[in-house]
Chain A
């Protein structure tokens, strides 16, 4: 039983990071019907900025809370700018061309970031000291690392904040309007370009936080680190119903927990295979994803 709880805690902590990345995929898909494959690499850039910020600000192995917040804000700013630039430079002019063109461009941007990172920063993994670390807490035999606590709490706060933005602000309303029908929204006086830029910035900022949390949790930063988490977050977004914000959160958590349980009770070699098999099964039964509806409540 203790083992099961431990697997569950590990899974939730891993899933929370997947969920944060998945939100970016799902929001962009919601407004543009574009699968932004470069999103996983924006996540990598977030982790990299965090690493360099920590390195050059000379923080110790366990930075204090103020410097950790500073590092995170800097990384959010950098990724927000990056997301804005990617949309402005690569995707905007392709908006009216066939969707396949944008998809391939997204893959191109992704490779550009990955191999550009490898070229300019070097492919060697490095250890990031971006969050305060302490000894793990133990609750009835289940041990929870301090980074796990920070991860879960931060993710919950951010998802709550995102929910507020999407459903209780003017910009959120505009986002939802654009996701329903961009041309009608434009006729109603919504600045579609601005809304789309905002969506990219918002998603990228969340990816930056995920990057910081991930690098603190796994202590390893490298230019190709966005590949697998990006792919899994995409799966999580589809699992929950792409275009649906609570769905992305649910999908991320489910995927994280499923991976840990498979590794724990079957074999770690099977974890990806089984996680993806679950995805296929769910989509066979419910093609729109867990929370997706025929007319999904898009963002």
Chain B
């Protein structure tokens, strides 16, 4: 017995020495000027919103690999250090602190959820580390300070998009709202939807709430059913929305459900099933969008991840990372303040989800799409909505010469709407014959008018 433990001790010692040597070896390389640029990523890789984190991670990886393959930034490679926050705000703050103080990252990418971004942002701001959230749409996120950016539009816009779509395209007069009171994102969207829907001549007949993680929504749904709305707006996250959809049908509420980008997950349909068919939600992009820029991205993503179709979170994360790397290339040096300056000057960055321009509040200005949940959980492209009073007006830029994107007049030119264009829901584009038939069938539109031509008028 004693001999055994002595042997064991020797083994342990050997292992320990081995480790130490390895560590030293690693440390020596890090001193040179050509060291890799460290970028931190915080995401919910597990938990109730796990697909948000994993999709974003894939998008970021894809963007990073492309930049690294093309020689990196200023001759330096990029290393992304990703930490899981399990979908918990406190964990997100801890992860951000850890990345900043012990990993010394140059910039942070994340979080998807607004609540968690709000926990991370003060840490990034205090340490003067630029933070780019791919998909946090709550207004408050970038208001934390001048180091906080986002690659997506903000809640008021999403709420506006759905209100506009409901009144103009679906011709609805009465809607009800069911919002998640524990979620800044949901409360924000609900408020803007409420204001805009009323302003556009509609009526909110009932306004109910739930808390994320609840499993029983029947009491609220019973009340909503009695108020007889024509649609129910649920700006929540996919797990809750899936359950709500099922229970809505169980209490006999059969109207279409409307939502925001928090619905975007494969799990939505897995949980909600057929109860969700015929519902609509606003989103950042659509894989069915015929724009070559999007199709090229979809093909690259599928190739990299074994045929997996990128959801909008993956596309947004890809854009957020791309935007950050673009800013790093333009920055005078690779330091927090210099990268921040370059990020703030981002103009017409040609992202997958549209041309991104930073406004003075560090929010991205770009259009949104509305998707319909079809049979079998397929998302059908049903329209595109422009930002209200969009400042960016470069109509001549639409056919801008770009060898990479020869057919740029289609689909994705929408952000460059004509000057003074009042917000109009652009109708579904009709690219190929099959897709156009499907779109026309689902939205009852005329065929054969590409979106690009609409916006050029």
**A residues near B, CB below 8 A?**
2-3, 6-7, 10, 14, 61, 122-125, 127, 136, 138, 143, 145, 148, 218-220, 222, 259-264, 267-269, 271
Chain A residues closer than 8 Å to B242, beta-carbon distance: 127, 219
Instruction: Pull 27 A–B residue pairs with CB atoms less than 8 Å apart, ordered by A.
Output: A3-B222, A6-B251, A7-B218, A10-B216, A10-B219, A123-B46, A124-B46, A124-B48, A127-B270, A136-B249, A136-B250, A136-B251, A138-B252, A143-B250, A145-B250, A148-B250, A218-B243, A219-B243, A219-B271, A220-B215, A220-B243, A263-B216, A264-B219, A268-B209, A268-B214, A268-B220, A269-B209
Total inter-chain residue pairs, C-beta < 8 Å: 82
Chain B residues closer than 8 Å to A122, beta-carbon distance: 46
Secondary structure dominating the interface of A:
helix
Question: From residue A207, how far is it (CB to closest CB) to chain B in Å?
Answer: 17
User: Quick one: which of B111-150 are within 8 Å of A by CB?
Assistant: none
Contact residues on B (Cβ < 8 Å of other chain), bracket: 20 to 34
Selected contact of A3 from candidates B208, B226, B270, CB within 8 Å:
B226
Question: How many Å lie between the Cα of A219 and that of B216 in the bound state?
Answer: 11
User: Quick one: which of B225-256 are within 8 Å of A by CB?
Assistant: 226, 239, 242-243, 246, 249-252
A125-B239, A262-B219 are known contacts; what are 20 more A-B pairs with Cβ within 8 Å? A6-B218, A6-B222, A7-B218, A10-B222, A10-B251, A123-B46, A123-B48, A124-B50, A136-B249, A136-B250, A143-B251, A145-B250, A219-B242, A220-B215, A220-B239, A260-B219, A261-B219, A263-B219, A268-B214, A269-B211
Question: How many Å lie between the Cα of A290 and that of B246 in the bound state?
Answer: 35
Chain A residues closer than 8 Å to B271, beta-carbon distance: 125, 127, 219-220
Question: From residue B242, how far is it (CB to closest CB) to chain A in Å?
Answer: 8
Once A268-B208, A268-B211 are accepted as A-B contacts, the answer to whether A218 and B216 lie under 8 Å apart by CB is: yes
Chain B residues closer than 8 Å to A10, beta-carbon distance: 216, 218-219, 222, 251
Question: How many Å lie between the Cα of A127 and that of B222 in the bound state?
Answer: 24
Chain B residues closer than 8 Å to A138, beta-carbon distance: 252
The answer on a CB contact under 8 Å between A260 and B218 is yes
Chain A residues closer than 8 Å to B181, beta-carbon distance: 269
Closest residue to A122 on the B side, CB-wise?
B46
Question: From residue B259, how far is it (CB to closest CB) to chain A in Å?
Answer: 18
The answer on a CB contact under 8 Å between A14 and B216 is yes
The answer on a CB contact under 8 Å between A264 and B222 is yes
Chain B residues closer than 8 Å to A7, beta-carbon distance: 218-219, 222
Chain B residues closer than 8 Å to A222, beta-carbon distance: 48
Chain B residues closer than 8 Å to A262, beta-carbon distance: 219
Chain B residues closer than 8 Å to A261, beta-carbon distance: 219
Question: How many Å lie between the Cα of A275 and that of B254 in the bound state?
Answer: 30
Question: How many Å lie between the Cα of A125 and that of B270 in the bound state?
Answer: 11
Question: How many Å lie between the Cα of A122 and that of B87 in the bound state?
Answer: 13
Chain B residues closer than 8 Å to A123, beta-carbon distance: 46-48, 50, 86
